[in-house]
């Protein structure tokens, strides 16, 4: 369950440590701007990390780190319980709501939407239909819908992502299932957060993908990173999608139901050949024990174990390897157009976000002051 920490009433002369649940991966804390010595001391700790969007610091959740925080911040901190999002109660659907959901299911299926999207929309609409049980769904106004979304935010403390998910489900129902005018249901949305993708350094990637001793597990991590794949794309790879003669990997039916090609690393190809000789996959490149597709949960477990054992950023996910793929290519000077095609982005603007996470230092960028001084020195000589 997601935890949040409100900054509105936090003291400016004390550090606030969020009480972490036993299974939480990290301990979050707020260090006031004025407490610079304490902030610098925290930054030197192993595994310390800053979350700019939340304006919080964090460290890996261990007993040793809890004791360490108490020691270095002795007399200067307070512990605060984080607020939790409130879980919605299970609801019993009326026959009216069930009929509306069935009609929506038929529409989404005929439109060829993914099962993930269908499940998400149906879940959101089940609660929405129940809320307006005593009203005619086709006649609910835009103002009433916005009141409903506002109530979800205030009552259940839903995230911006969940808010957008609810709005998308409602708009889809009215515009596609009921055929209503699109402009009528132009519902207010939260301001889009300008979040940057989480990226691992090259050294972290090397440690992480080489951590598994199991050949299959290592090959999975190598494939994710070297080709910049989404998790679903990895699971859908067939043996025939590895085009070794032509030097590319074929991605069939990726996001948006689009096919694309991405780079096939010679290093990965050697590893895949070793993997193939040992595991002999028949259809899917990575098969489960029963011969079907490997499960997403299994890959996530492999990744999580590798993260923990390699000491990499604990907030990383399998998708972080895709972000790292793009960023490292950009750092190497690869043309943005090639990166866009490898990732399967329709617009170059989506790919350009990786320019914001490039390392800026005096090794990668020369300050105009240095350029100016060099010119001045040359002119004097």
Q: What is the pLDDT of residues 247-266, one digit of tens each?
A: 999 998 777 778 899 999 99
* Residues with catalytic roles: 230, 255, 319, 322, 345, 354
Contact 237, 299 (CB under 8 A): no
Are residue 353 and residue 210 in the same domain, yes or no? Answer: yes
- Is 137 inside a domain boundary? yes
Which residues form the domain of 112? 95-185
HSE on the CB side for 336, CA within 13 Å? 10
Report, as an integer, the average pLDDT of 3-31.
74
* 222 has a pLDDT exceeding 80: yes
The predicted model scores a pTM of 0.63
Q: What pLDDT score was predicted for residue 320?
A: 92
Same domain, 35 and 139: no
Mean pLDDT on 234-238: 95
Q: Higher-confidence residue: 287 or 358?
A: 287
Q: Do 306 and 251 fall within a single domain?
A: yes
Low-confidence winner among 76-80, 133-137, 141-145, 226-230 (lowest mean pLDDT):
76-80
- Residues 240, 322: one domain? yes
Residue 376 lies in a domain: no
Q: pLDDT tens across 277-327, in order?
A: 999 999 999 998 887 899 999 999 999 999 989 988 777 889 999 999 998
pLDDT digits (tens, 9 = 90+) for 23-33: 677 888 889 88
The residue that leads in pLDDT, 217 or 82, is 217
Tokens of 329: 């290519």
Residue 259 is assigned to a structural domain of this protein: yes
Give the alpha-carbon dihedral of 109, 111, 114, 119, to 10 degrees.
-50
Q: Is the Cα dihedral 88, 91, 94, 98 positive or negative?
A: positive
Q: For 51-58, what is the mean pLDDT? A: 77
Q: Is the pLDDT of residue 2 over 50?
A: no
* Phi, psi angles (nearest 5°) of residue 270: -60, -40
Q: Is residue 147 part of a domain?
A: yes
Residue whose tokens read 């205030």: 154
- DSSP count for the chain of H helices, then E strands: 15, 10
Question: How confident is the model at residue 95, as a pLDDT?
Answer: 92
Task: Kindly state whether residues 181 and 258 are assigned to the same domain.
Answer: no
pLDDT reported for residue 262: 93
Q: How far is Cα of residue 155 from the mean position of the Cα atoms in its chain? A: 25
């Amino acid at each position: 369950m997601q935890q949040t920490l409100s900054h509105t009433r936090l003291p400016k002369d004390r550090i606030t440590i969020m009480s972490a649940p036993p299974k939480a991966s990290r301990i979050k804390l707020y260090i006031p701007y004025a407490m610079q010595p304490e902030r610098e001391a925290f930054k030197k700790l192993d595994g310390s990390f800053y979350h700019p969007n939340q304006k919080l610091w964090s460290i890996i959740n261990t007993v040793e780190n809890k004791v360490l925080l108490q020691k270095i911040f002795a007399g200067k901190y307070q512990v605060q319980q984080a607020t939790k999002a409130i879980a919605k109660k299970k609801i019993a659907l009326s026959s009216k709501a069930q009929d509306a959901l069935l009609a929506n299911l038929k529409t989404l299926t005929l439109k060829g939407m993914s099962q993930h999207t269908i499940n998400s929309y149906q879940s959101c609409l089940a609660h929405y239909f129940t809320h307006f049980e005593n009203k005619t769904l086709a006649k609910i106004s835009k103002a009433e819908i916005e009141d409903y979304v506002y109530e979800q935010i205030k009552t259940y403390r839903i995230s911006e992502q969940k808010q957008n998910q609810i709005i998308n489900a409602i708009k889809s129902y009215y515009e596609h299932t009921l055929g209503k005018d699109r402009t009528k249901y132009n519902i207010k949305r939260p301001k889009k957060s300008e979040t940057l993708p989480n990226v691992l350094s090259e050294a972290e990637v090397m440690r992480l993908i080489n951590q598994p001793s199991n050949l299959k597990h290592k090959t999975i991590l190598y494939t994710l990173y070297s080709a910049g794949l989404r998790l679903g794309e990895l699971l859908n790879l067939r043996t025939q999608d590895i085009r070794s003669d032509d030097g590319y990997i074929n991605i069939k039916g990726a996001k948006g139901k689009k096919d694309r090609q991405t780079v096939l690393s010679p290093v990965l190809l050697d590893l895949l050949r070793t993997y193939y000789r040992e595991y002999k996959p028949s259809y899917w490149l990575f098969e489960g024990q029963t011969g079907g597709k490997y499960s997403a949960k299994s890959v996530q477990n492999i990744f999580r174990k590798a993260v923990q054992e390699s000491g990499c950023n604990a907030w990383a996910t399998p998708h972080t390897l895709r972000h790292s793929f793009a960023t490292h290519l950009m750092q190497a000077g690869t043309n943005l157009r090639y990166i866009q095609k490898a990732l399967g982005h329709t617009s170059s603007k989506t790919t350009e976000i990786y320019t914001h996470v490039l390392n800026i230092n005096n090794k990668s960028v020369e300050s105009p002051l240095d350029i100016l001084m060099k010119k001045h020195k040359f002119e004097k000589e």
